[in-house]
Amino acid sequence: MNYTLHQLEVFLKIVELQSVTKASEALYLTQPAVSIQLKKFQEQFKIPLFEIVGRQIYITEFGQEVADAALKILEEVKAINYKALSYQGQLAGKLKIAIVSTAKYVMPYFISDFINEHRGVDLVMDVTNKASVIKALENNEVDFAMVSTIPKKLKINRIELMKNQLFMVGGKDYKFKGDYLSKSEFQKLPLIYREQGSATRLAMEKFIESKKVSTYKKMELTSNEALKQAVISGLGFSIMPLIGIKNAVAIGDLQVIPVKGLPMITNWNLIWLSSKNMSTISKSLIEYVNENKEVVIKKHFGWLKRY
């Protein structure tokens, strides 16, 4: 046997994505390059690692066992690299963060310089809805979470980052009279919601309930981007965080519709379990964010003051 770590990585990615094409994209390699590595890897085994049926690749039982072993090998190699960097006085290891979907417009700015400065830190960032984020934090699957509403059932520490403003938005062709949208007009609008478990949906439902507005039609979409595109197309209206629709508003694809009681304002928070045994990387990130958050906000989010 004379396979390389690169071949293990390529094969593992193919198994994960069940596609040579998708694996090549994920690894930033050409498809022929991935196919060649897969062929060379297979040549070292007398038992098939995979089968091709039509255009679909299927991993054999033996191939799956090889993939499981490859994962362990590559994890051990990473551990060696982390230890080597640690002995050189550098931060090294994995940093796991779970964030709600709208936070993808915010969180990268608060950690990009930190990650770039510490090349030995590998970032794993899961973007999902609030319910899944809190579950990951509660199960100690991540080091940090970024949310706009604090979970009440968990004992957590937090860094308050910046304000999160939610406005009513509609497509560019919608016209209304007066300074504010009237209750009667509000009730005529087809509203589009985020999925259950989303903090944006919860905020929207609370606002509508507080105003005692009766809506006649509801639609549900499972991502902020899908929701934004639906509103742009004229499919309906929604209450959305301004942070995620900046460009669409700037170019006129979306318009902010004045409604009394809006914007709703919450705060973005970086949170972690109070009982968490913090790693050196986690402690360093906390220190970095505390020291640099105001600079980041001023540099990247100063435009929010216009609204």
Omega of the bond leading into 263 within 30 degrees of 0 (cis):
yes
Encoded amino acid at 22, one letter: K
CATH, residue 246 = 3.40.190.10
Same domain? 132 vs 184: no
Residue 200 in contact with residue 133, Cβ under 8 Å? no
pLDDT of 218: 76
pLDDT of 192: 94
pLDDT of 217: 65
Same domain? 53 vs 78: yes
Per-residue pLDDT of the chain (307 residues; tens, 9 = 90+): 788 999 999 999 999 999 999 999 889 889 999 999 999 999 999 999 999 888 889 999 999 999 999 999 988 888 787 777 776 777 888 899 999 989 999 999 999 999 999 988 989 999 988 889 999 999 999 999 999 988 888 999 999 999 999 999 999 999 988 889 988 889 889 999 998 888 888 889 999 999 888 876 678 998 888 999 999 999 999 999 999 999 999 999 999 999 999 999 999 999 999 999 999 999 999 999 999 999 999 999 998 888 7
Same domain? 253 vs 225: yes
Q: How far apart are CA 64 and CA 67, in angstroms?
A: 5
Same domain? 156 vs 289: yes
Q: Answer yes or no: pTM beyond 0.75.
A: no
CATH, residue 15 = 1.10.10.10
Structure tokens at 276: 């968490």
Same domain? 194 vs 274: no
126: nearest Cα among 165, 159, 158, 94: 94
Same domain? 257 vs 172: yes
Q: How far apart are CA 187 and CA 216, in angstroms?
A: 7
Query: Which residue has tokens 């700015």?
Result: 109
Same domain? 280 vs 142: yes
* Cα dihedral: 176, 164, 144, 153 (round 10): -80
pLDDT of 193: 93
Q: How far apart are CA 100 and CA 129, in angstroms?
A: 5
Residues spanned by the domain of 193: 164-265
Q: How far apart are CA 123 and CA 120, in angstroms?
A: 10
Same domain? 215 vs 258: yes
Query: Which residue has tokens 């509403």?
Result: 149
SS3 20: helix
Same domain? 219 vs 251: yes
Domain count, the chain: 3
Q: How far apart are CA 126 and CA 47, in angstroms?
A: 36
100: nearest Cα among 189, 179, 201, 27: 201
Q: How far apart are CA 168 and CA 181, in angstroms?
A: 10
Same domain? 145 vs 273: yes
pLDDT of 178: 82
Query: At 117, phi and psi to the nearest 5?
Result: -75, -35
Structure tokens at 157: 């520490």
Same domain? 154 vs 276: yes
Task: Answer with the one of 39, 67, 87 that is the final residue of a domain.
Answer: 87
Same domain? 168 vs 255: yes
pLDDT of 219: 86
Task: Answer with the one of 65, 87, 109 that is the final residue of a domain.
Answer: 87
